[in-house]
Amino acid sequence: MKIALVGIGKIAVDQHVPAIAASPDWELAATVSRKGSVDGVESFSDFAAFLAARPDVTVVSLCLPPVPRYDYAEAALLAGRHVMLEKPPGATLAEVHALQAMAAARGLTLYTTWHSRMAHAVAAAKAWLADKAVTRAHITWREDVRKWHPGQDWVFEPGGMGVFDPGVNALSILTEILPAPVHMTAATLEFPANRQTPIAAQLRFSGNVTADFDWRQTGPQTWDITVETDRGPMALRMGGNVLEIDGKVAGGENSIMGEYPALYARMAELVAAGQSEVDLAPMVHVADALTLGRRVVVDSFDF
C-alpha cells in the first residue's frame, strides 16, 4: 500500500522512514513537509496540493507535533484517506474524539499509535501481571530534553505537553499492563519560569501508583516501571524493552528499533480489516495531571 509521511522532522527521519523502507506492507510514495524531504520520494510542501495530486496514496502518517496535527488529520479524513497519528494523538482529547467520529462516519481507519506499547517486553509484562494483584507501582521516566528534542521550542509551548511528551509513553505502558485501571489523585508540576509547560512532574494515582517524570537528566537515561504484586516484584526497564521478574532479567531486548516496524504492521492490519484503533487512556492521565496539578516555578530553561 502507498503511504505518505507528513512532517519530515526528527522522528520521521529517525524511525518512520526506516520502518516503512523495511516493511513488506508499505511503499513511501510521497512526503509533505515545509522544509524536509526524503531522497527519491516525491515531496510536497502543501498538504492540499498533495491530496489533490495523489489520490492513489490512500494512507497518511502524520509525524507533526500535536498542535498542528489536527488540521492535517481532518483534511486527510475529509479527502477519504486513512490516518495514522504519532503520539500523543492530539493536543486535546476532544479533537481526537472528533477525528474518531469523522473516520467512523466515512469507514476510514484512524490509528492512535503508542510506540512504547510495542517495546519488546510490554506484552510479556502484561501477561505476567494478568493474574496478580498489584500492591504498588512506580514509574521513573527521566531523560534529557536537549538530546531528544534539540531546539524544539514547541514542547514548551501550550499544547506541547512539556515533560508529558515522554511521560505519556510511560503512561501508555502503564495503562496497557495494569490488570485494573487507576486514576490520578494528585500531581505536582514544575514549570520553568520562562516556559508554558512543565519540565518535571510527580504524580500520584489510586492503587499506590506513583510517577516521577523529569526532563533535566543528563548522562544515563532512566525509563523504568517497577511493580510489586501479591506474588513478587516485576520491573520493566529501558522503556518497556527489558523485563525483570524477582530482580532477574526474564525477557525482552535492550533496543527500541522494533517499535515503529510493529506500528506499521498494525496499521496495515487495521486498514486491511477496515478497523480503527483509538485509545486515549494515556492522554486522559496527562489531562488529569494538568487539571489537578499543583504548580511550582523552577529555574528558567533554554536549549
| Residues catalogued as catalytic | 87
Q: Does 81 bind ligand NAP (CB under 6 A)?
A: no
* Amino acid letter, 243: L
Write out the binding residues for ligand NAP, residues 187-226 only, by CB under 6 A: none
Using CB atoms, what's the residue nearest to ligand NAP?
A: 9
Among 23, 59, 66, 263, binds ligand NAP (CB under 6 A): 66
Among 41, 68, 93, 290, binds ligand NAP (CB under 6 A): 68
Tell me how many residues contact ligand NAP (CB under 6 A).
22
Q: Does 240 bind ligand NAP (CB under 6 A)?
A: no
C-alpha–C-alpha distance, residues 34 and 162, integer Å: 24
| Nearest-5° Cα angle at 270, 265 to 276 | 130
We find the least distance from the C-beta atom of residue 24 to ligand NAP, in angstroms, to be 23
Using H for helix, E for strand and C for coil, what is the string for 208-245?
A: CEEEEEECECCCCCEEEEEEEECCEEEEEECCCCEEEE
For ligand NAP, the closer CB: 106 or 146: 146
Among 1, 9, 138, 233, binds ligand NAP (CB under 6 A): 9
C-alpha–C-alpha distance, residues 55 and 64, integer Å: 21
Q: Binding segment for ligand NAP among 61-69, 76-84, 102-110, 200-208 (CB under 6 A)?
A: 61-69
We find the least distance from the C-beta atom of residue 206 to ligand NAP, in angstroms, to be 27
Among 33, 61, 109, 202, binds ligand NAP (CB under 6 A): 33
Q: Does 113 bind ligand NAP (CB under 6 A)?
A: no
Length of the chain equals: 303
Q: Does 7 bind ligand NAP (CB under 6 A)?
A: yes
Contact positions toward ligand NAP, by CB under 6 A? 7-12, 33-36, 63-66, 68, 86-87, 115, 148-149, 152, 165
